[in-house]
Chains A and B, each alone.
Chain A
């Protein structure tokens, strides 16, 4: 219940802060669109507040202070003019309520998603333990990515817990769905198309899996969706151009892919304005506003790391800089997408497994898209052109993961729903059963995905299995490391530290008590081609003793790691891992083991007293 209350309070605070902006900048929009715009325009000021207060102090009380101004302003929201509840519209409104309800329930379960456990919640937990919010050079690369959404995650996490952070992501997904509905309306769709667009967004397999997790992708999708709706609503004037810039800037402040989406939105629309001999300066205003939003983040990164877009393109900005993503990029080259870029309209929906798995599930988007752009609907063609340009840029500049298409999720959902509504309007006797059968098959397939996703989370929520039982299965065990982490949580005392021989940190482990594997001044070296200097056994033993290291955690699949530089890790592997073979573990589980550190330190000290072996002749 706390999670629901916290996420609703944050939504109110966002809307309260953003409403004055939405009212002033939303000229040409309907009342509903302006109301939906408010929480999006409130995100930037609320995230700035969280950063400002959190830099000074990050805990429950300080985050209440950050939340308060927005809540006070929320009193002035038009509470009495709320529309008819969407679930009363049968069938799509009812189905939408069912899928959203499933996401809300799933968000109450403990974190299970890979990146949520690796960093989306791990970094907030670390910051909460440390008591302040500021990126730590040499900690992880993720805290240098644009922080808008992750700051709001920190707000939810401090006010509630992991479930509150996950519930906030469901709220973001709900906002993205709302904008899919509004865009469908702008594209000429009726009530059913609008509800269908929202339903298509929340019922994609990726939404079923990632909606109740923590991501930065759903806020990004909401910002891009709202930006496109604003841009196509009417000829752009200065105030709405400012709103468009703030939305695209917020998208970029969520994830760098927002920059690619901004280009995909602005280029075709500015091109059309140019062809129609309309004034271009609103488009420049929108672009420059967006760039200005991103600027403080670039300056921060440059000041700390020497690279404004750290960790991206590090060799370009820093002499001897490491290509941080090289191991990941190398792993991605094993992909073989049939048809290359020309086969994409087919492969990205049908051969999803050639990318990063069945992210859409049944290809509803593919079913509806052609009918949305057939005919003379210029708005539909314009939105499709934005999607097309984004997909081309995605193919050319990013790893070919379908989840990196989420910035255009709102657009795909709106277009497909409008296309399907057009088809459903055909008045042909024999067609009705065909249509019902098609939707029946498609919905049944998607229901299997929904059921599968729910089967992972709901049994924990219903108390049928423990977190440990649920996560100690092959799909989750290696990145959750749940048994060793929970053991440490129970046994580690104040002032004690542990050494982690792991591939990635896990949210379930204590964070600030993990021994950081870089000494002062070594962070820049870690991200250089020469790397951090090797450690001797004597140095390591001395370091462990100084830092009161009591335990060593060893993960079963140590070294199976495509992202070796995502966190400062593997520094102690070669020295310490061989010593563990002769030690009895304090905890032995399928995901990993915990060892007492004292015998390991003693073995390191003993090894440091032995004379070095003579070199081979």
Chain B
């Protein structure tokens, strides 16, 4: 596996971990607030 492939694979996994963790931790709260804002505007 060359350097570019390793970089691409590492980023793909990292992006998955970061995005899923962020949404797991905050998605519920974000959705609730969004619903509240859309309801009140």
Contact = CB atoms under 8 A, between A and B. Distances in A.
Contacts of B11: 371, 423, 426, 431, 434-435, 438
A299 interface: no
Interface residues of B, number: 22
Contacts of B21: 350
Question: Is chain A's interface secondary structure helix, strand, loop, or mixed overall?
Answer: helix
Contact of B19 (A358, A428, A442, A452): A442
A59 B22 CA distance: 49
Given A350-B25, A366-B18, A459-B41, A452 B33 contact: yes
A441 B20 CA distance: 11
A352 B12 CA distance: 23
Contacts of A423: 7-8, 11
B9 to A, nearest CB: 8
A438 B22 contact: no
Interface in A174-229: none
B7 A448 contact: no
A428 B8 contact: yes
Contact of A351 (B15, B25, B37): B25
Nearest to B34: A448
A441 B12 CA distance: 13
A426 B34 contact: no
A129 interface: no
Interface string B1-31: 0001101101110110011011001100110
B37 A367 contact: no
Interface of A: 349-353, 358, 362-363, 366-367, 370-371, 422-423, 426-428, 430-431, 434-435, 438, 441-442, 445, 448, 452, 455, 459, 473
12 contacts: A351-B25, A358-B29, A358-B30, A362-B22, A431-B11, A434-B8, A438-B11, A438-B12, A442-B19, A445-B22, A452-B37, A455-B41
Q: Which 4 A-B residue pairs are closest in the complex by CB-CB distance?
A: A431-B8, A426-B4, A428-B8, A438-B15
Given A351-B25, A426-B8, 13 more contacts: A350-B18, A353-B25, A353-B29, A363-B18, A423-B7, A426-B4, A431-B11, A434-B12, A438-B11, A438-B19, A442-B19, A445-B22, A448-B34
